[in-house]
Amino acid sequence: MGEFVRLEVADGVGTIRLERPKMNAISLQVQAELREVCAEATERDDVRAVVVYGGERLFAAGNDVAEMAEMSYADMVKATRGVSAAASAIADIPKPVVAAVTGYALGGGCELTLAADIRIAADNATFGQPEVLLGIIPGAGGTQRLARLIGPSKAKDIIFTGRFVKADEALAIGLVDRVVPAESVYDEAVAWAKQFSGAAALALRAAKECIDRGLETDLATGLAIEQQQFASVFATEDRTIGMTSFLANGPGKAEFVGR
C-alpha cells in the first residue's frame, strides 16, 4: 500500500484512490505508486473493473510544480518516461476503467482521466491542460490522448490557450461521457464498473486490446488484430459457457467464470 495511492476492492470493483493533500499534486512518488497499484489491479482476479478517483473535492490539480521547478533538462530526461508511464499504466489495465472526476482535473490530473476508458464527471468538474502557462507542454499523454479523443483542433485550442473546460463543455466536445451531480459521481462510476463483475473477463480484455491497438494503426492492421483476438477467445471457458447458455436459455443469462 502506497502513501498517496491505494487500491480498494469490493464486489469485483477496484478503486484506485489518489490521496495526497491538499490538491492531489502528482509527484514522482505518486507516479511510482500509481504504476504499482495499476499493476496490482491488473494481476488481481478479484478486480474485474477499475474506478480511478481523487476524492469528493477534486480529482488532481496537476503535477507537482514545486518538484518540477527544481529539475534540470538532464533530470527530466531521466524522469519523463516515468511521468508518461503513470498515465499509461492506467490505460494498460486490461479491464474496463472509469475515471470518476470531481472538481479540478488539470494538467497531469487531466492526463490521468484521458487514460481511462470512460469519464464520468461531476457537474462541478473542471478540466484543462494549462502547461503552456508554465512554459512547458503536457508530458503524460495530453497532446496524444486528448487529440485522439476530441479531435486535433479542439485539443489544440485547449492546449495552446491553457484554458479551463467546465463539465458542460467537456460533455459537449466528448471529453467526458456523462455529467452527474457531484454527490453521486463516485456511485455512478462504481455502478458502471460493477456491471462487469460477472462478465466474460477475457472477452472484455480482447475487445479493449482491439480498440486501443487498432486506433494506433491503419484499418487493415486493426482488422487483422481483431481477427486474431476473435479467434483467441474461442479458447476460453467463458466462450463455451456463453454459447451453451445462449442456445439453452437465450441471451444475457450466462454465468461467466472469467477464464
pLDDT tens by residue, 4-21: 999 999 999 999 999 999
- Is residue 187 domain-shared with residue 211, that is, in the same domain? no
Which residue of the set 33, 131, 183, 188 is catalytic?
131
pTM passes above 0.85:
yes
Q: Is residue 221 situated within a structural domain?
A: yes
Banded model confidence at residue 77, pLDDT cuts 50, 70, 90: confident
The total number of structural domains in the chain stands at: 2
Among residues 194, 220, 241, the one where a domain terminates is 194
- Is residue 243 domain-shared with residue 120, that is, in the same domain? no
Partners of 100 in the β-ladder: 53, 120
Q: Is residue 259 situated within a structural domain?
A: no
What was the pLDDT predicted at 44? 96
Q: Is residue 258 situated within a structural domain?
A: no
- Is residue 83 domain-shared with residue 59, that is, in the same domain? yes
What was the pLDDT predicted at 193? 97
- Is residue 174 domain-shared with residue 207, that is, in the same domain? no
CATH of the domain at 217: 1.10.12.10
Contact 253, 243 (CB under 8 A): no
Answer yes or no: 131 catalytic: yes
Above pLDDT 90, what percent of the chain?
A: 85
- Is residue 27 domain-shared with residue 97, that is, in the same domain? yes
Among residues 175, 194, 213, the one where a domain terminates is 194
pLDDT tens by residue, 20-41: 998 998 999 999 999 999 999 9
Which residue of the set 111, 209, 226, 237 is catalytic?
111
Mean pLDDT value of segment 63-82: 84
What was the pLDDT predicted at 200? 94
CATH of the domain at 18: 3.90.226.10
Q: Is the pLDDT of residue 67 over 90?
A: no
Average pLDDT, the chain: 94
Place of cell 463455451: 240
Q: Is the pLDDT of residue 119 over 80?
A: yes
- Is residue 205 domain-shared with residue 155, that is, in the same domain? no
- Is residue 153 domain-shared with residue 228, that is, in the same domain? no
Q: Is the pLDDT of residue 83 over 80?
A: no
The gap from C-alpha 14 to its chain's centroid, in whole angstroms, comes to: 13
Which residues are CB-contacts of 247 (< 8 A; sequence separation ≥ 6)? none
Q: Is residue 254 situated within a structural domain?
A: no
Range of the structural domain that residue 187 is part of: 5-194
pLDDT tens by residue, 212-258: 999 999 999 999 999 999 999 999 999 999 999 999 999 988 999 98
Mean pLDDT value of segment 160-171: 98
- Is residue 184 domain-shared with residue 121, that is, in the same domain? yes
Answer yes or no: 226 catalytic: no
- Is residue 60 domain-shared with residue 122, that is, in the same domain? yes
Among residues 167, 194, 221, the one where a domain terminates is 194
What was the pLDDT predicted at 75? 84
Banded model confidence at residue 190, pLDDT cuts 50, 70, 90: very high
- Is residue 188 domain-shared with residue 111, that is, in the same domain? yes
What was the pLDDT predicted at 84? 86
- Is residue 153 domain-shared with residue 224, that is, in the same domain? no
Strand stretches in the chain, DSSP E: 5-10, 13-18, 49-53, 97-101, 104-106, 118-122, 126-128, 164-166, 178-180
- Is residue 181 domain-shared with residue 56, that is, in the same domain? yes
